[in-house]
């Protein structure tokens, strides 16, 4: 069966100006080359004009009426693979990505309540995700490791939906490194993206 990859872009910058999106594009292009039969769906959250959940959408989510959040949740649930591309902002994810997850966290689509507590509905088939992020400093190791709420959140919310195969791909120190050092770090991150994409 055709695999569907959903590429979620959460950065207002043009792709060419964004380390995150440039890295994610390298990943997606390599994935496409290795999996030409795959369907790739791009959702650019800024172009979608995603807004925080409002009263009208919330009411419809509970009344069962058709609404925007349901469309996004159904689209999310229809994929097999996920690329979540977002820069680190203030130790977390950009607010627009949180707003998107607030849409996608939909009772009956991505999770449900049971007597034993909530369970993820997206564990119904093997799904994989990668969180791709550029950040000014280093958080994958060292003193600031516990400050990275972005990767923790992305992994936790995906796990809540039942998606437990989650990889992370970072470009770190992007605001500290300069010149050749930055170029080298970018090149290394692109190589890591190609390696990961080849078996994604």
Ligand X SMILES: Cc1cc2nc3c(=O)[nH]c(=O)nc-3n(C[C@H](O)[C@H](O)[C@H](O)COP(=O)(O)O)c2cc1C
Paired with 4 in beta bridges are 39
Pick from 5, 6, 9, 20 the residue near ligand X by CB under 6 A: 20
Q: Which of 53, 32, 55 is nearest to 42 (CA)?
A: 32
What's the half-sphere exposure (Cβ side, CA atoms, 13 Å) at 143?
A: 1
Convert residues 126-165 into a mask of x (bound to ligand X by CB under 6 A) and - (unbound): --------xxxx----------------------------
68 belongs to an annotated ligand binding site: no
Is there a contact between 158 and 123 (Cβ–Cβ < 8 Å)?
no
Distance CA 37, CA 42 (A): 16
Using rule CB under 6 A, residue 120 touches ligand X: no
**Considering only residues 174-193, where is the footprint of ligand X by CB under 6 A?**
174-175
Pick from 44, 89, 98, 149 the residue near ligand X by CB under 6 A: 89
Smaller CB separation from ligand X, 54 or 180? 180
Smaller CB separation from ligand X, 15 or 80? 15
Is there a contact between 150 and 87 (Cβ–Cβ < 8 Å)?
no
Is there a contact between 173 and 133 (Cβ–Cβ < 8 Å)?
no
Minimal distance in Å, beta carbon 181 to ligand X? 14
Using rule CB under 6 A, residue 68 touches ligand X: no
Helix (H, G, I), strand (E, B) or coil at 166: strand
Q: Give the tokens for residue 185.
A: 């770090």
Contact positions vs ligand X (CB under 6 A): 11, 13, 18-21, 87-91, 134-137, 174-175
Which residue ranges make up the annotated binding site for FMN?
88-91, 134-137
């Amino acid at each position: 069966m055709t695999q569907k990859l959903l590429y979620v872009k959460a950065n207002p910058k043009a792709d060419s100006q964004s380390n995150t999106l440039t890295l994610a594009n390298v990943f997606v292009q390599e994935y496409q080359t290795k999996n030409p039969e795959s369907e790739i769906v791009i959702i650019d959250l800024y172009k979608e004009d995603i807004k925080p959940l409002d009263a009208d959408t919330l009411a419809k989510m509970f009344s069962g009426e058709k609404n925007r959040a349901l469309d996004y949740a159904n689209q999310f649930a229809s994929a097999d693979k996920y690329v979540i591309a977002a820069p680190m902002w203030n130790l977390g994810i950009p607010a627009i990505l949180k707003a998107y997850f607030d849409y996608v966290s939909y009772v009956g689509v991505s999770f449900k309540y049971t007597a034993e507590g909530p369970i993820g509905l997206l564990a119904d088939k093997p799904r994989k995700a990668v969180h791709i992020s550029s950040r000014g400093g280093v958080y994958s190791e060292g003193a600031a490791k516990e400050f990275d709420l972005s990767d923790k959140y992305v992994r936790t919310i995906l796990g809540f939906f039942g998606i437990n195969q989650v990889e992370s791909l970072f470009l770190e120190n992007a605001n500290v490194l300069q010149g050749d050092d930055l170029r080298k770090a970018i090149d290394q991150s692109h190589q890591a993206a190609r390696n990961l994409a080849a078996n994604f």
